[in-house]
Amino acid sequence: MTTQNLLVELFVEELPPKALNKLGAAFAGVLAEQLKAQGLASADAVVTAFASPRRLAAHVTGVLAQAADKAVQQKLMPVTVGLDAAGNATPALLKKLQALGADVSDPAAAVAALKRAPDGKAEALFYDSVVKGATLAAGLQKALDEALAKLPIPKVMQYQLETDCELPGWSSVNFVRPAHSLIALHGSAVVPVKALGLTAGNSTQGHRFEAKVSPVVLQHADQYAETLKNDGSVIASFAERRAEIVRQLQAAAAKVGNGARPIEDEALLDEVTALVERPNVLTCQFETEFLDVPQECLILTMKANQKYFPLIDASGKLTNRFLVVSNITPDDASLVIGGNERVVRPRLADAKFFFDQDRKKTLESRVEGLSKVVYHNKLGTQGERMARVCAIARAIGQQVGGDALAAQAEQAARLAKTDLLTDMVGEFPELQGIMGGYYARHDGLSPEVAEAIEDHYKPRFAGDELPRNNVGLVVALADKLETLVGMFGIGNVPTGDKDPFALRRHALGVIRMLLERLPEQDIQTLLRTAFGSFEHAAHSTELADRAAVAGSVTAFNLETPELVANFVYDRLSGSLREQGFSAQEVDAVMALRPARLGQVSQFLSAVRAFAALPESPALAAANKRIGNILKKAGEVDAHVNPALLQEDAEKNLHAVMQKLLPESEAQFKAGDYTASLQTLAALRAPVDAFFDDVMVNAEEMDLRLNRQGLLKSLHVAMNRVADLSRLAA
């Protein structure tokens, strides 16, 4: 069968820019998927998605005018139901065949055409038929309906469309934006499909202001992108338009000179790509006096409010130039440039005003105001939260660096949230922490404290840098621990993909800080410290009968430290598996819930090296067997009386253990975990012999307890680094 390429376009009013790329990909993907499912397009058909501010389109190669006929075998019913004792068709069978369109004028012939085959324990009748392939008109209609139904639309709107029937009237249509035209071209032929009250044709609209013709008429499906670009002044491809913007941004920055480059922001680039049909990058500037304002403020207001690309110099410092991606290309761009410069000036003036006003008050003077800001209705105010973070930071600082670090950490924690009360952060919440650092320097605080205030939200996302100094590290850790313990304590636990308080991100931040910078810290101790900072800790015995405890802090779940620890270990396990460690290796190490997360990577390396030894499978299996024996035995004392050792195998095992276990323990204490496990590999033969020749649960109680004690000593030694039974197949 001959094929033609297919083009489908839906022309609408301006689509949501942040969702445009996803909408374009979904529209083309589902459309092509449905065509392939109906046999109208081959599995290797090339699908090209187009998405511009006012259109969604898809180009699919090698589409048939009609799908091939398909042989279908249908199960009818059990033989005992379809045929009587004489083998004749029952009324039920004839009715079923008639419903399927089979010829039942000769019942005997109809039965003879059926197949009999086993179906489970019974035998069933099967009917073979040929289903005519779908026509493109019918198949595309189904595919188009499905593609529109499955679009990931952020919010649907309802609008009225005039009906095209003889009686005048209006019909309601629900879609992301009002749709105005539909194209469906199979080669050069229009496919008669409908959608959203529109009938397919071969014309669309180009650029609002710069299209050369209106409407833009397409002669062939393969001429879509070219015709739109030439006649409609529209770059239909999202990727092509994005690449053109990047090219123009770099070229414009190069003309500015001095190593200038546009700020890198992929989300901004995607959003701007979704706002223009044919980009034209222009260079603008603002007064240098605004550069006295922190550049983060200026950059944010230009990006967030105006969708501009600020230019920074070779050293990363903001310049007074910025780039605008215009949707028009006038002969004289001065009016466009001047208009954008006039628009940005009040925004920058507001930022300067906020900055100047905020510096009239010190951060310390704002501390009292935190008690008037609600943090959470079950956890009190920001002032109460600040006091808890201070207590945690002071305790961690004392452990890490003594009195000096504890004092600095407490000071930074006390002031870390005060910038929430400033005008700048009120206008731009994204700057919290950053502005606190600027204001701390203005107040004359030490560089360490200022940096800690600025950094205490870090890491904000995967791959983000950690706080620069130990003061910031301690405060950031305290802040995240307080959030985790507080939210878990009142039952705000992440479920499924819902995590409104970003507790998974907080847990991963804690893990990174402990792994990379504070490997000696004990996660269990830290969680108990955080738990103790809440006022309920002092009243834990009363909580069962009280609805709330001192102040506005609601009664907590007393198992909170354990719950948070489980949550942290789960996040760490998932992260380690993503890094390439096997599930067995991770499970073996994490089963022991290592308190010092800094040891985990070393434990994993040791387990991997042990698992590669030929003795590993046998010892892992033996360890699992020992664990089962001890579990059934209950409480077992790891003590052995040599005088009660009777069998040669148990005497030999005890003798080898006396030699190897102290050596393995010394290596463990020295931090050589790999050697510690490998030393135990020599136990394989005596352990195998023990289980072959010795009855552990002997009838004599003293022999049984002694043998259990021997196994308990072995079990403790084998599971210092990891639960080796998890390596057993």
How many Cα atoms are found within 13 Å in the side-chain-facing hemisphere of 110?
Answer: 21
Average pLDDT over residues 391-411: 96
Cβ–Cβ < 8 Å for 522, 395: no
- Token duo for residue 693: 């020749």
Give the whole-angstrom CA distance, residue 363 versus residue 413.
12
Q: What is the pLDDT of residue 554?
A: 52
Average pLDDT over residues 570-592: 94
Q: What is the pLDDT of residue 163?
A: 65
Give yes or no for residue 445 having a pLDDT over 60. yes
Express as a percent the part of the chain with pLDDT over 90. Answer: 78
3-state secondary structure 454-496: HHCCCCCCCCCCCCCCHHHHHHHHHHHHHHHHHHHHCCCCCEC
Give span(s): CATH 1.10.730, the chain. 599-727
CB atoms closer than 10 angstroms to residue 73: 10
Q: Which of 149, 130, 147 is nearest to 6 (CA)?
A: 147
- Token duo for residue 663: 């050596």
Give the whole-angstrom CA distance, residue 399 versus residue 499.
31
- Which residue blocks in 615-670 are alpha helix, DSSP H? 616-633, 648-669
> pLDDT: is 553 or 204 the higher one?
204
Q: Which helix (H) or strand (E) holds 195?
A: strand 194-195
Give the whole-angstrom CA distance, residue 695 versus residue 673.
32
CATH number of 599-727: 1.10.730
Give the whole-angstrom CA distance, residue 472 versus residue 456.
6
CATH number of 3-67+135-232: 3.30.70
Give the whole-angstrom CA distance, residue 82 versus residue 111.
9
Average pLDDT over residues 427-442: 96
pLDDT tens, 228-257?
999 999 999 999 999 999 999 999 999 999
pLDDT band at 556 (very low <50, low <70, confident <90, very high): confident
pTM, whole model, 2 decimals? 0.81
Give span(s): CATH 3.30.70, the chain. 3-67+135-232
Give yes or no for residue 127 having a pLDDT over 60. yes
Give the whole-angstrom CA distance, residue 90 versus residue 82.
5
Q: Which residue type does 327 have?
A: N
> pLDDT: is 86 or 414 the higher one?
414
Give yes or no for residue 204 having a pLDDT over 90. yes
pLDDT tens, 307-319?
999 999 999 999 9
Min mean pLDDT across 475-484, 527-536, 561-570 is at 527-536
Q: What is the pLDDT of residue 164?
A: 59
Average pLDDT over residues 8-14: 96
Q: What is the pLDDT of residue 10?
A: 97
- Token duo for residue 397: 């600082």
Average pLDDT over residues 129-154: 90
> pLDDT: is 444 or 79 the higher one?
444
pLDDT band at 544 (very low <50, low <70, confident <90, very high): very low
Q: Which residue type does 596 have?
A: R
pLDDT tens, 669-703?
999 999 999 999 999 999 999 999 999 988 899 99
How far, in Å, are 237, 371, 377, 431 from residue 361 at the CA level?
Answer: 51, 17, 28, 18
